[in-house]
C-alpha cells in the first residue's frame, strides 16, 4: 500500500465532535434525563456525571488543540438555557459563551450545535415537536443564544440528525420495542414536517443574530446500497428517511454529513450484513468507505453546497482498528475531494468516550475518560489524527 496525500481545500475544518448530554453530566432538566430515570424506559445505564465536561471542558479543548486539531464541534443544551418555559438562564448562557471564547483562545474554531437530540423536559411534556407552537418556541430559544454565537462562531448547526428524530418519533408511535434487524423504522411524517419548519425558522434567527454565520444542519446518512434489481425499492425506502432532509437543506450555507456504516437494500427491503462481516461494538458492519458514498449521495441531492463531515468514526475497544477505519474513511473523503465534491471539513466522532444514548459500552472516543477520576488520556488514534491535521493533508490510500 502506498500513501499519496490529498491537500486540504482552503479553510478546511479539521476536528472532532461531541454533544452536550453525552459528555456534560447531570443534565437534569432534559427529556433524556427523565427517560433514563423512568421505570417505563428501557435504558441500560443513566448518564449521571457523563464525562463531567460541564466542568472540564477546558481540559477537553486543551487536549484537542495540543493534538493539532483546528476545529471543535460541541452542542449547547436547551434544557440548561431554558430550564422552565420562558425562563432563560443568564448563568448558563454565560457558561456556553465562555466555552466559545475558550475554544478561540486555544486556536480551535467552534462549531456550535443548537439541538443535539435532547429537549427541555417541559417541551417534551407539552407534546414535543408536533405540539402547537413548538416551532416558535424553538426559534425563541435560538434567538436567546445570541450572546453565545453572535461573535466568533463561524458555523452553527441548528438540529443534529433530524431524520433520526423523526425515526424515533415513528418508533414511539408504532409501539415497537426497538429497531428492526436492518434499516430504520418509518419516520413520523408530522415530526418530519415539524423539524424541517423548525430548522428553517432557526436559520432565520441565526442570520438575524449575525448574517455572517454559516448555518446548516446534519443528516444521518445510512448509505443505502441497492442489491441487483432493487434500485427503485432503495430510492423509495431512502427518501423519507434521508433525502427529504437533504432536500430541505438546499438553501443552507452547508450540510453536515454523518456516516458510520452502510445498509444493503433488496427487493423486500433492508438486508442484514453477512454473518461473517466484521462488526463494531454497536453491531454495525465495519465499512470505512461509507463516508465517501454519503458525501457523493448528498452532493447529488443537494447540489454544490459545501459539505462538512460532522460525524464519522467507529465504536471499538481496539484502537488499531480505529486508525484503520479512519485511514479508509479519509481515503474515501480524499477521493471525493479529488473528484470535485465540495467537502469543507472533517470532524471525527467522537472527541471523547462518552454516553451513547443508554450505555457507556460503545467507545467511539479519540480520548478515553476514566469513569472514577475523569482523567483524560489521548489514544494513539488521537495523536495520529491530530498529526494529520497539523500536516494539513488527507491520506489517500492506493493499492
CB-hemisphere CA count at 13 Å for 37?
A: 11
Q: What is the pLDDT of residue 2?
A: 46
Positions of E strands within 236-363: 254-259, 263-266, 269-271, 307-312, 343-349
Q: What is the pLDDT of residue 251?
A: 95
Burial class (CB in 10 A: 0-12, 13-18, 19+), 283: exposed
Q: What is the pLDDT of residue 328?
A: 96
Angle at Cα 296 formed by Cα 385 and Cα 227, nearest 5°?
110
Place of cell 472514577: 372
Q: What is the pLDDT of residue 5?
A: 67
Q: How far is CA 188 from the centre of its chain?
A: 20
Q: What is the pLDDT of residue 3?
A: 52
Q: What is the pLDDT of residue 40?
A: 79
Q: What is the pLDDT of residue 397?
A: 52
Q: DSSP code of 9?
A: P
Q: What is the pLDDT of residue 1?
A: 44
Q: Rounded to two decimals, what is the model's pTM?
A: 0.96
Q: What is the pLDDT of residue 390?
A: 82
Residue 86: CB atoms within 10 Å:
8
Q: How far is CA 131 from the centre of its chain?
A: 25
Residues of the chain with pLDDT under 50: 1-2, 398-399
Rounded-to-integer distance, Cα 169 and Cα 153, Å: 31
Q: What is the pLDDT of residue 391?
A: 83
Choose among 398, 282, 297, 379: nearest CA to 341.
297
Angle at Cα 19 formed by Cα 15 and Cα 21, nearest 5°?
160
Q: Which triple of cell numbers denotes residue 246?
A: 437533504
Could you name the CATH architecture of 11-217+312-389?
Alpha-Beta Barrel (3.20)
Amino acid at each position: 500500500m502506498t500513501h499519496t496525500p490529498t491537500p486540504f481545500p482552503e479553510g478546511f475544518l479539521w476536528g472532532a465532535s461531541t454533544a452536550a448530554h453525552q459528555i456534560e453530566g447531570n443534565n437534569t432538566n432534559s427529556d433524556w434525563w427523565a427517560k433514563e430515570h423512568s421505570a417505563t424506559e428501557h435504558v441500560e445505564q443513566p448518564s449521571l456525571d457523563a464525562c463531567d465536561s460541564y466542568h472540564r471542558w477546558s481540559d477537553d479543548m486543551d487536549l484537542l488543540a495540543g493534538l493539532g486539531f483546528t476545529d471543535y464541534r460541541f452542542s449547547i443544551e436547551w434544557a440548561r438555557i431554558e430550564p422552565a418555559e420562558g425562563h432563560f438562564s443568564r448563568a448558563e448562557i454565560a457558561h456556553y459563551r465562555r466555552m466559545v471564547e475558550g475554544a478561540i483562545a486555544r486556536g480551535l474554531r467552534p462549531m456550535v450545535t443548537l439541538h443535539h437530540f435532547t429537549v427541555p423536559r417541559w417541551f417534551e411534556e407539552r407534546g414535543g415537536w408536533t405540539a402547537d407552537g413548538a416551532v416558535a418556541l424553538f426559534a425563541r430559544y435560538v434567538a436567546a443564544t445570541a450572546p453565545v454565537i453572535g461573535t466568533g462562531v463561524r458555523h452553527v448547526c441548528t438540529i443534529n440528525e433530524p431524520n433520526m428524530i423523526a425515526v424515533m418519533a415513528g418508533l414511539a408511535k408504532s409501539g415497537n420495542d426497538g429497531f428492526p434487524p436492518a434499516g430504520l423504522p418509518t419516520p413520523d411524517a408530522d415530526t418530519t414536517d415539524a423539524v424541517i419548519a423548525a430548522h428553517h425558522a432557526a436559520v432565520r434567527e441565526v442570520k438575524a443574530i449575525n448574517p455572517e454565520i454559516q448555518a446548516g444542519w446534519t443528516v444521518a446518512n445510512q448509505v443505502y446500497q441497492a442489491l441487483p434489481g432493487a434500485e427503485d425499492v432503495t430510492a423509495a425506502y431512502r427518501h423519507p428517511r434521508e433525502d427529504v432532509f437533504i432536500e430541505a437543506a438546499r438553501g443552507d450555507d452547508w450540510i453536515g454529513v454523518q456516516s458510520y456504516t452502510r445498509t444493503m437494500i433488496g427487493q423486500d427491503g433492508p438486508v442484514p450484513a453477512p454473518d461473517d462481516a466484521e462488526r463494531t461494538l454497536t453491531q454495525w458492519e465495519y465499512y470505512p468507505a461509507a463516508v465517501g458514498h454519503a458525501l457523493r449521495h448528498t452532493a447529488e441531492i443537494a447540489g454544490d453546497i459545501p459539505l462538512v463531515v460532522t460525524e464519522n468514526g467507529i465504536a471499538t475497544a481496539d484502537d488499531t482498528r480505529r486508525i484503520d477505519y479512519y485511514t479508509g474513511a479519509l481515503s474515501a473523503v480524499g477521493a471525493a475531494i479529488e473528484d470535485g465534491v465540495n467537502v469543507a471539513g472533517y470532524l471525527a466522532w467522537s472527541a471523547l468516550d462518552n454516553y451513547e444514548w443508554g450505555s457507556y459500552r460503545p467507545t467511539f472516543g479519540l480520548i478515553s475518560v476514566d469513569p472514577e477520576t475523569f482523567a483524560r488520556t489521548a489514544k494513539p488514534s488521537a495523536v495520529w489524527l491530530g498529526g494529520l491535521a497539523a500536516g494539513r493533508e488527507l491520506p489517500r490510500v492506493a493499492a
